[in-house]
Amino acid sequence: MKEYYDGKINLTMLTDFYELTMANGYFQYGYKDTIGYFDMFYRNIPDHGGFVIMCGVEQVIDYLKKLKFTDEDIEYLRGRGFCEEFLDYLKNFDFCCDVWAVPEGTPVFPGEPIIKVRGPMIQAQFLETMILLIINHQSLIATKANRVVRAAAGRAVMEFGSRRAQSAQAAILGARAAYIGGCVGTACTIDGRDYDIPALGTMAHSWVQLFPSEYEAFKAYAEAYPDSCTLLVDTFNVLKSGIPNAIRVFNEVLVPQGKRPKGIRIDSGDITYLSKKARKMLDDAGFPDCGICASNSLDEYIIRDMLLQGAQVDTFGVGERLITSSSHPVLDGVYKLVAIEDENGNIIPKIKISENVTKITTPCNKEVYRFYDKETGKAEADVLTVVGEVIDESKPYLLFDPNYTWKQKEIENFEAKPLLQKIFENGKCLVEERSAKEIQEYCKSQLDTLWDECLRFEHPHIYWVDYSQKLYDTKFNLLKEYSSKR
């Protein structure tokens, strides 16, 4: 919701309480100005897919620009165990972190930093909740939307989920994410106003029920909207009344004006069967250009099966299963400390070790490079390095799996591009806002760099995310050091 980010509603206090208890502790024990490095990354790809689409960076930028504790915030915190000096610090809070992010619309993979923060521990730690909230939600919905769009195989997909989203903010930002993921527009009108995303929609069953007859309802709608007439034909009976009445109205209202119908929408029943029958009826009546829209609890699997079975559908309206990503409703992004600086500016790697090996973190201030084959333009692998390492593109580069090091591949004739873009320096924003349309077009261009095997819904190719030798050695040595202390 744009109002959440334009200063009308201050979200600074939308944070886990432990961010504040830790910050107060850092302040009291002399770590207030210690420089920390934090990575945001995710562990598992939703729906067992091949990638996640990075989304939500614009909202992170808006949030960081507006960070400010109000007098009301300070008064609430007073008496909750915080020292007065710390409350004074919050009252005069001045954001001064450096922040890097992978650009919105980029396909990203497990374990690699997609946002990186460097700054005083109090500030860098405090950002955790909102960065995760924003990026986890929008990236999840953008990814789900792209799966649906790919299943539609070139047919337009409209986002119809506002009424089933889990909050107003989820509806608005979910629609934005769905558009970036490839939807052509949304039923959520406020996104048209705030993000210039096409707002789409025609009528509900209540329109048809209100009039004395289905025919009169269709006739009134065609008269009101002759240039964009799409009729909902399943209120009573699709084949016996809905389509015959639609054809009658097309002939009586639109044809005499030299207009053509835009389409019909089927929202219930066996849509595959009904769409085949509807297509023949419309074609026989002289309306082969009349599109057929399908809706009703659709997702990528239903759409794929419908098309495999010969459904004659031109556009899809997808709601609840997209806006909630109902098949996999959580992206497990996390935010972890990976390094600190000592008083001399030396960077000291930090690691978290767990009995659950997937929760062991990767230390160091890192860069992420994407390797592209110069002949095909396709992405071959991502490589995490320690900041400052140089990748020599003139020489072959040995990729190796950091978990199964014997799995190796030497590549040549590649271009290595850094993925992380600096978006804040010392608290000042460095980048210009991009429109949702620009991000959507960028997303499409980035997806075109992936091999088709990465796009499969089931058992996609596992994309390589590897370490440089220096990063691998650093992590391995830290693991060995801490294991010897047990």
C-alpha–C-alpha distance, residues 276 and 264, integer Å: 13
Q: What is the DSSP letter of 174?
A: H
Strand locations in 187-302 (E) = 230-232, 263-266, 291-294
Closest CA to 142 of 88, 178, 97, 193: 178
Fold classified for 2-141+328-484: nicotinate phosphoribosyltransferase (3.20.140)
Supply angle C-alpha 72, 80, 5, rounded to 5: 40
C-alpha–C-alpha distance, residues 27 and 83, integer Å: 9
Provide the residue ranges of all domains of the chain, joining segments of one domain with +: 2-141+328-484, 144-323
Asked if domains 2-141+328-484 and 144-323 share a fold, the reply is no
CB contact at 8 A, 263 and 233 = no
Closest CA to 253 of 216, 284, 283: 216
pLDDT for res 8: 62
Q: Quick one: 144-323 is in which CATH superfamily?
A: Aldolase class I (3.20.20.70)
CA dihedral 205, 206, 210, 216 (to 10 degrees): -30
pTM for this structure?
0.96
Residues 139-154 as b/e (b if ≥16 CB within 10 A, e otherwise) read bbbbbbbbbbbbbbee
Helix 128-151 crosses helix 436-447 at what angle (to 10 degrees)? 60
C-alpha–C-alpha distance, residues 177 and 356, integer Å: 32
Structure tokens at 213: 């007859």
Query: What is the H or E stretch that residue 349 is in?
Result: strand 347-349
Give residue-wise pLDDT tens across range 279-291.
Answer: 999 999 999 999 9
Q: Which residues of the chain have pLDDT under 70?
A: 1-8, 486
User: CB burial class (10 A; 0-12, 13-18, 19+) of residue 158?
Assistant: buried
pLDDT for res 486: 63
Alpha helices for 243-326 (secondary structure H) = 243-249, 271-284, 300-308, 320-323
pLDDT for res 5: 44
C-alpha–C-alpha distance, residues 353 and 347, integer Å: 19
C-alpha–C-alpha distance, residues 389 and 409, integer Å: 20
